Structure 1
Amino acid sequence: MARRRGSEWIPDQHGAWAMLAVPFLAGTLLSPRPGWAHAALFAAWLLGYAAVFHAQQWLRLRGRGLRSAGRHARPALVFGAAFAASGIPLAMLHPWLCGAALLAAPFVAVNTYYARTGRERALTNGLAAVVPACGMLLVAARLGGLSPAAAWPPALACLLYFAGTVPYVKTMIRERNSRAYRAGSVAYHAAALAGAACLSPWLAVPFAAYLTRAAALPGRGLRVPLVGATELACSAALLLTLPLLF
């Protein structure tokens, strides 16, 4: 039972972890001066996500009048306190981090609204979550001394990829029978391929693979774990590619 209770504290949105990690790690790897501050900020970033996740679940379940909302209250408070303990010292050393948090706040508000109304699977909600996650590449890069001009292209590459995962994953699971979603996903990935090639011609290689999987895999009945493993491989390919190109 102890293991089961502990596992309930870990957010079960498995696809979110790659989106949380890849842009941040890419920004760190691209930095001229990666250091302990990146490790502290990464911890604060993950703790903040966990706190917000549980707070949103508490709002969602409480809005439906369910007593199960209570199980999210303690994790939200504990993770929130841990986030403050790790984030406040960083903000004192680097006050510009507060500005970055303010820029992310509207997107968190959108996610909270969709959670409160029980529409977390909405396309808009998924896209809103992608923006601040990819923005962490800019934050990690600046923390390590990389100029904004050098950080924007890889951040945009992350945005192009992770925005595409939102409709693509829907075509594999919840919208697997929707021709409109499939067509929209393929059209987006084709546009993303063109955009990525403008950032760097070599980015056309992974983005061509992303387009191929968006066109070829829906409708083949792949199991959810295999869909997740495929996306992890695609995310890892992006993480390996960005430091080589930028």
Structure 2
Amino acid sequence: MAGRRAAAGGWIPDQHGAWAMLAVPYLAGTLLAPRPGPQHVLLFAAWLLGYAAAFHAQQWLRLRTRGLRSARRHARPAVVFGAAFAAAALPVAAAYPWLVAAGALAAPFVAVNTWFAWRGRERALANGLAAVLPACGMLLVAARLGGAGLPWAAALACLLYFAGTVPYVKTMIRERNSRAYYRGSVAYHAAALAVAGCLAPWLALPFAAYLARAAALPGRALKPPAVGAVELCCSAALLAAVVLLF
């Protein structure tokens, strides 16, 4: 583990939950599309590179605002990832100009995340929720890119799950002693289960499991790697359910 961190040189963002949130909706939209193709690979690369560039730019801003010299270590990754993002995004945007409008819709959410980074409040609940919306919206982008319509129900299913991970993970780590967060997380997951059942009856099965883990796991002193492993399984179950049911 330490060797891999050293090899990455601090360039790869260590927000593990973010990678699942970026990948699952995009992959679901691609798999739901009738004509997935090379354009999906190129846009997926741009999507991940854009996230890495934004992450380092926001970290640079956060640390620079506080006058910390450590901000410099984020400058080069931000520039390199930004250039790589442009190289991947420009060809696919030229072929599909409507992607520019889709990117413009995501821009306000990126601005919100940047504001929270500038204020040093990246762990705020609102900041996490602001990141979830465009990530789940990428399901619609990937589906349309492959010739599908706009599978709103599938995107909503992803939104229900990933929005719930924001308060749930807090109950496992930073807010593990907060009864208010715990009650809010369980209440949210109960509501999400009801909505998921309306979207597709079989979708209630994974969401019942999500509710069970939100109710049962907080307070059990699980370490972050174990929490991450559980969420990886939950994300894989979501991807399978969305592709099979929609």
The reply to whether residue 114 of structure 1 matches residue 119 of structure 2 is no
1:90 to 76, 82, 92: 92
2:20 to 18, 21, 30: 18
**Displacement, 1:241?**
1.0
Deviations along 1:198-220, whole A, 9 cap, x unmatched? 11001000000000000000011
1:58-73 to 2 correspondences below 5 Å: 58-73=60-75
2: distance between equivalents of 1:193 and 1:210?
Answer: 8
Letter in 2 for 1:226: A
**Displacement, 1:243?**
1.0
**Displacement, 1:4?**
2.2
The residue aligned with 2:197 is 197
1:1-246 to 2 correspondences below 5 Å: 4=6, 6-148=8-150, 151-246=151-246
Letter in 2 for 1:243: V
Runs of 4+ aligned structure 1 residues displaced above 2 Å come to 1-7
Letter in 1 for 2:163: A
Letter in 1 for 2:54: V
Deviations along 1:83-103, whole A, 9 cap, x unmatched? 001101111100000000000
Letter in 1 for 2:49: L
Structure 1: unaligned runs, 5 residues or longer: none
1: distance between equivalents of 2:50 and 2:43?
Answer: 10
Deviations along 1:32-85, whole A, 9 cap, x unmatched? 000000000000000000000000000000001000100100000000000001
1: distance between equivalents of 2:194 and 2:109?
Answer: 26
Secondary structure in 2 aligned to 1:176?
Answer: coil
2: distance between equivalents of 1:221 and 1:210?
Answer: 18
Q: 1:152 to 1:73 in 2, by over 3 A?
A: same
Secondary structure in 2 aligned to 1:8?
Answer: coil
2: distance between equivalents of 1:156 and 1:209?
Answer: 18
2: distance between equivalents of 1:80 and 1:196?
Answer: 37
1: distance between equivalents of 2:96 and 2:211?
Answer: 39
Structure 2: unaligned runs, 5 residues or longer: none
2: distance between equivalents of 1:234 and 1:205?
Answer: 12
1: distance between equivalents of 2:230 and 2:24?
Answer: 15
**Displacement, 1:5?**
6.2
Aligned pairs, number = 244
**Displacement, 1:3?**
6.8
RMSD: 1.2
1: distance between equivalents of 2:41 and 2:105?
Answer: 22
Letter in 2 for 1:169: V
2: distance between equivalents of 1:5 and 1:81?
Answer: 21
1: distance between equivalents of 2:127 and 2:145?
Answer: 28
**Displacement, 1:6?**
3.2
Q: Given the two structures, how large is their TM-score scaled by the length of structure 2? A: 0.97
1: distance between equivalents of 2:225 and 2:46?
Answer: 28
Letter in 2 for 1:220: R
Secondary structure in 2 aligned to 1:9?
Answer: coil
Letter in 1 for 2:166: V
Letter in 2 for 1:105: A
Letter in 2 for 1:20: L
